Each structure stands twice: as structure tokens, then as C-alpha cells.
Structure 1
Amino acid sequence: MNKARSALGGAVLAGVIGITSVAPAAAAAPAGGRAVTGPTAAVASGKVPMASKADRIKRLGKLTVKGQTSLNAWYAGLGQYRQGKNPYKFNWSTDGCSKSPEKIPGGYDFTFPCHRHDFGYRNYKSLVGHSKFRSQHKKRIDDVFLQDMNQVCNARFWADPLTPAGRKKAKAACLKTAKKYYSAVRVLG
């Protein structure tokens, strides 16, 4: 019985390998003698068509809302961008926290909250225009910025060099700084 399972498993594996090696060639081959064009051809050739403006705005909305799911999706998108993949053609440039320090006392680092904030501002302004950005998206992106900074302030360090009283003071100072940064972008951003 074990020999039969091994033989069957080997046959299935060989079939899967055979199918997967033929599938890309079959997908790229013209159907019925006609050349494949449009989105199918782009995918078959390895090129991904650019998402529509509506799709880009929808995806941008999912990357710039409150919650851990959105933050995780933004980090995943940043990771793809750093690997050379940018299917939505988003602007990932950043100036960090502008002229404010990203790293603050106590080991807290606002680099990624500032980067995500820049990401929201830059992409919404280019996709929907400055006035629509200000009226429909700015406050939400600023609120997400505050949430992201507060999450940094609430992080627990695995090797915390501070005493519990020292950590409490550092955390309070971090939260106060987060509110200052938030107030600044509400007024100036």
C-alpha cells in the first residue's frame, strides 16, 4: 500500500510539474491563430497594465485608513515597491517628517508614520486634485498619522533600558510630541 501511495504521489507530482511548465507557453500562444492583444497580452508578456484612476483611488483608500489591516497593507505595498513592483504607479517619495525629528527620546521612531502620511498626501493630491484632497481626504490622512504615531508611542521594547518610571515619562513625552506633529499638519499640511 505504501509503495502504491509513493508511486501515485510521484505520478501526481510529475503531472503537476508537466502542467505548470506547459501552462505559461499555452497562455502566451495565440488563440485560434489570432494574435493575443489587450490586457491578456500584457499579462502574458509579463507587463501588467496600469490600473485605472478609479482603481488607484480605491486602492489608495485601503492604504490610508485607520486600522492595523490598512497599515499592514501599506507596509506590504512599500515592500513591493522596494522590490521594484509598483502596479498602481503610486508615488512613494518622502521627505520624512519634513524638518521635525523622526527619532525622538526614549527610542521612538516616527519614520514610517511620516512616510505613510507623505504617501497619502502626495498620491491623493495628484489623483483627485488639491481642493478635493483638502475637502475629502486630508483630515482622515492626518488622523491616520496620529494613530500611527500613537502606535509607535505605545510600543513595548523587548530590551527596554529604562526603568518603569522612566518609560512612563518617555511614553508621555512621545504622545505629547505626536499631538504636536498632528497639530502642525492640521494647520500647515
Structure 2
Amino acid sequence: MRRRFITGLSSAAVALAATAAMAAPANAAPADKLQVMSSWSQTSASSQQAFLNARAHQGDWSAYGFDWSTDKCSSSPDNPFGFPFENSCIRHDFNYRNYKAVGKFDANKARIDSAFYEDLKRVCNGYSGAQKTACSGLAWTYYQAVSKLGVAPADTGAQVDQAA
């Protein structure tokens, strides 16, 4: 009898805990999520630096539910001919993924792509002569690729379906 009572009491406690967990409100991202995203997607060097600092301290931003995943420069070289484009691609991926996740991608794509180009040009400004010319040409090519062909990763299938 005592064993049945304890088993029944344990089952009731588990059911009560499960009900309470389902009834608890989901943790929503802070109200300033779009403002933070906007501050990290501007064309300025300070915006890029703020993003890179946040990326280095991702745990500080966990309440926002950001998607920090990246494939860097996708199928293009991350550091073509030794020019370090990787961080520019990482920030670009972050912005594409996160604006898409909040349903604001189309309204922000042009600025995100422009910020990417400015990031690449800042890389090229560290060179001179023929190296700067080569870097600038690659930066323009990378920018044109994302500007004309860039889609959020989740849209890749949709783009193929629409093209068919």
C-alpha cells in the first residue's frame, strides 16, 4: 500500500512539473534585438568591430538567440590570394541568417551587402600598388556575387524551385 502511494505521489509530481513547464512563458528575445542587429550591420568600421567583439563573446548575447553559424565565404576562397576576407564573410553570414530569422531580410539586404563591401575595402586599404588593385578587384567581385546572387541559406531551395 505504501509503495503504491509513493509511486502515485511521484507520478503526480512529475505531471505537475511537466504542466508547469509547458505553462511557463517562453523566453522571448530582448526587445532591442533588431536595434542590436542594426548596430552590427552598418557600413562603418566601428560597426564591424562591435560585431567582431560580440562574436568573440557570444555567451554575453545568448538571451538574443542569435545564429552565429557561418560557412565563411561559402564556395569562394575565404582568403583569396592571401587577402583576409574571412571576417567580412562571417559578419555577412551572421546578418543574412539573423535578418532572415526575424523576417526582415528583404528590407535590409542592400545595407548588409554594402556593409560587406565596405568591410572588404577596409581589408584592401591595408595594401598598396598592384596588391591593392588586385584586392579591390576581388572585393568588387565578391560584392557583386552577393549583391546579385546572395540569398539566405534557407532560401536556396526556394530559389531553385522558383527558377524551375
Q: Tell me how far apart the structure 1 counterparts of residues 85 and 29 of structure 2 sit (CA, whole Å).
A: 31
Task: Name the structure 1 match of 2:41.
Answer: 64
Paired residues of 2:68 and 2:94 also in contact (CA < 8 A): yes
CA offsets, 1:146-182, max 9 Å, x none? 00000001125xxxxxxxxxx5111101100110111
Higher relative contact order (CA 8 A, sep 6+): 2
4+ runs deviating over 2 angstroms: 49-52, 84-87
Task: Name the structure 1 match of 2:19.
Answer: none
Task: Give the unaligned 5+ runs of structure 2.
Answer: 1-26, 151-164
CA drift at 1:122: 0.1
Task: Give the unaligned 5+ runs of structure 1.
Answer: 1-48, 157-166
CA drift at 1:104: 2.0
Task: Name the structure 1 match of 2:55.
Answer: 78
How high is the TM-score relative to the length of structure 1? 0.61
CA drift at 1:50: 5.1
How high is the TM-score relative to the length of structure 2? 0.70
Identity of aligned residues (%): 40
Which structure is higher in helix share? Answer: 2
- Number of residues paired by the alignment? 123
Pick from 124, 127, 133: which aligns with 2:105? 133
Q: Tell me how far apart the structure 1 counterparts of residues 111 and 40 of structure 2 sit (CA, whole Å).
A: 12
Q: Tell me how far apart the structure 2 counterparts of residues 104 and 154 of structure 1 sit (CA, whole Å).
A: 16
Task: Name the structure 2 match of 1:51.
Answer: 29
Task: Name the structure 1 match of 2:77.
Answer: 101
Match of 1:71, as an amino acid? Q
Q: Provide the aligned C-alpha RMSD in A.
A: 1.6
Larger Rg: 1
Task: Name the structure 1 match of 2:153.
Answer: none
Pick from 68, 77, 87: which aligns with 1:92? 68
Q: 1:114 and 2:89 equivalent?
A: yes
Task: Name the structure 1 match of 2:13.
Answer: none
Task: Name the structure 2 match of 1:185.
Answer: 146
